[in-house]
Amino acid sequence: MMLADKINFSPYPLKENMSWIKRFIVGPAIKNEGNINYISKSYLLNSITPRYTISFIGDIMDMSLKDLIIDKSVKNFVKGSDFLIGNFEATLTSEKKFAKKRHKRQIMDALETLFQSKNTYLSTANNHSGDYGQLWFSNSIDQLKERGFNVFGNKENPFQDITNELRVIGSTQWSNKPCNYLIKFEDSLQFLKTDSFNLLFPHWGYEMELYPRIKTINHGRILLHQFDALIGHHSHCPQPVSIFSVGNVNKLIAYSLGNFCIGIENKMHKYGIVVKINIGRNSEGKWLIGKLDWTFIGSRSLSEQEYTVEIVDNYNPN
């Protein structure tokens, strides 16, 4: 068994784990080997007749038992959306284990102040969903469902058909603890739906890197020949919101939305991105993304027991 598996706080093999530790100590990697840049914060990808508006948030992280207070600026940004999609990266549990990520029930209260639960879709396909084992994982999902949240990314619900024309598929490239109840990244393609807008929402790439690696870029572009959009998470810091053209269609590839919230004072982990898109048909009847808006967000302490997440103008991880 490798060292990373023994200490169980990183999902990577030993060599990559050492690189992860270095980034954690000295700061995020800044190399942009693929020369990927952010598109403007308001961008028209394709000419469509808008039908749905969807907002996306990144990693809903362990709040270290602090209460999350979502600022009005974030609420106003997602206001008017039909649906909200995010990554629920911790287990609802009263248990406590070293280096394992957990949520208390207040996180559900906070999310309900942001968006109505019945139209909120939470992926559990991430490297921390296996932290407490399958029993607590299933119990956590049950608690979310009882509050009206829609859950996907696990073997029971690998995807959600938000409407008849819109499917979101969750999957994870990583898991800190071996488990067979999450959807693996390499299995995503089997869940494509014909005559629908297929959106891949993967937990992929590498932590604490400001730009995706070449192999991630290339893999994403291959996937966009099958999927209609790809919006990722896992890096814990924002990565570019970008586009890739497939034929005469512009497709969205947001490599990582970073953290939506976190309950620690750490500049590397405090930032994220919120994305809002319009989806509709073009003149040929194809479902595409039209207008896109995005913004940086940041977490900060309000008191010993409260943290807030709010819109910020700039992103400075150093």
pLDDT digits (tens, 9 = 90+) for 261-281: 999 988 889 999 999 999 999
Dist. CA 198–CA 192, nearest whole Å: 6
Quote the pTM value: 0.96
- Read off the pLDDT of each residue in 294-303 and give the average, rounded to a whole number: 97
- Read off the pLDDT of each residue in 121-145 and give the average, rounded to a whole number: 98
pLDDT band at residue 315 under the 50/70/90 scheme? confident
- Read off the pLDDT of each residue in 182-208 and give the average, rounded to a whole number: 97
3-state secondary structure the chain: CCHHHHHCCCCCCHHHHHHHHHHHHHCCECCCCCCCCCCCCEEECCCCEEEEEEEEEEEECCCCCCEEEECHHHHHHHCCCCEEEEEECCEECCCCCCCCCEECCHHHHHHHHHCCHHHEEEECCCCCCCCCHHHHHHHHHHHHHHCCCEEECECCCCEEEEECCEEEEEEECCCCCCCCCECEHHHHHHHCCCCCEEEEEEECCCCCECCCCHHHHHHHHHHCCCCCEEECECCCCCCCEEEEEECCEEEEEECCCEEEECCCCCCCCCEEEEEEEEEEECCCCCEEEEEEEEEEEEEEECCCCEEEEEEECCCCCC
Answer yes or no: is pLDDT of 2 > 60: no
Answer yes or no: is pLDDT of 13 > 90: no
- Identify the pLDDT of residue 231: 99
- Identify the pLDDT of residue 205: 97
Dist. CA 86–CA 63, nearest whole Å: 16
Answer yes or no: is pLDDT of 317 > 80: no
Q: Convert the pLDDT of each residue in 37-56 to its tens digit.
A: 999 999 999 999 999 999 99
Q: Convert the pLDDT of each residue in 51-87 to its tens digit.
A: 999 999 999 999 999 999 999 999 999 999 999 999 9
Dist. CA 291–CA 10, nearest whole Å: 37
Average pLDDT, the chain: 95
Answer yes or no: is pLDDT of 198 > 60: yes
3-193+206-281+295-312 fold:
Purple Acid Phosphatase; chain A, domain 2 (3.60.21)
